[in-house]
A = this chain, B = another copy of it.
């Protein structure tokens, strides 16, 4: 089947670009001597997680217990829920999973230690724990230094918990467009981690892993010297938001290529100045940037509604009624979560483009 025969809207993956992206990040981690634990919340797809592991990843991260359950069922045997897990129902599910695979979670509150330990005890399993510290993202995370070491000591005292180290992820830093702003944020991470490592040493605690970093900061964090495990996820697909980031010379960063596209059809050409496509909020997330038309210079996507988007040409040529167009999603993770299938295309932008694989978005809607 050729891409033009696929009904729309559909979520396409440029397999060649994705594979290059996978190899590049795996190669970087290997050269840097870092563990790579890609975030599976980006793709939610077992087939892609397996490729990441085959290229050397130690396992994957998930954000939710339900995602972890799906990844373990798909054969991934080392999963970190890179997030706090609250409530007995979820903790019991996570601990049950730890009977079948190596499972970790983050804790940022002293009460979380006893809760996780009790769940592990009920399941007769052992859970890995990273103490999450606040590194500037103002989301979860205990204060660095002694408050973090206090939680870590409590973890180390629990026979069913295995203190692994620190979660030091700074989400907001990924999307500072300016290189110096990202570098500055990473300096803050390094400082917070060092302060905490000193406090760990004071308590005689060993920190085996400092996990963090994303597609926006992985190189800077490698240079920072404290992060040992990369949690990047978006590099697999890239998106319009990440494409705005600039390097130290103010240039676009082309390490990773856009590999995820929403295929849409022009359903109406009601006026010369606009073309309406059949992909709106329910086909492409708009929480970060709007989707961007691919290979349509001068054309922008505007005013999305639930099932429509409007293409407008400042100084470009609009596609005709019935034409199919590719949109680069503004934000890949929530866009993938809207779709049931990823349609993998080989030779995507060439004359021999064809469908090679159709993968379910296995963890679509897995929010629990």
Contact = CB atoms under 8 A, between A and B. Distances in A.
Given A138-B271, A287-B304, 16 more contacts: A9-B367, A63-B307, A84-B267, A86-B267, A108-B268, A108-B270, A109-B270, A139-B305, A140-B268, A140-B276, A143-B270, A281-B287, A306-B334, A338-B338, A339-B365, A339-B367
A321 B108 CA distance: 11
Q: Give the most central of A266, A334, A340: most B CB within 10 Å.
A: A334
Interface in A1-27: 7-9
A23 to B, nearest CB: 25
Interface in A313-346: 321-322, 331, 333-334, 337-340
A259 interface: no
- Please give the count of copies of this chain that the complex contains: 2
Contact of A139 (B265, B266, B276, B286): B276
B321 A109 contact: yes
Interface string A106-137: 00110100000000000000000000001000
Interface string A337-368: 11110000000000000000000000011011
Given A87-B322, A365-B340, A63 B285 contact: no
A212 to B, nearest CB: 15
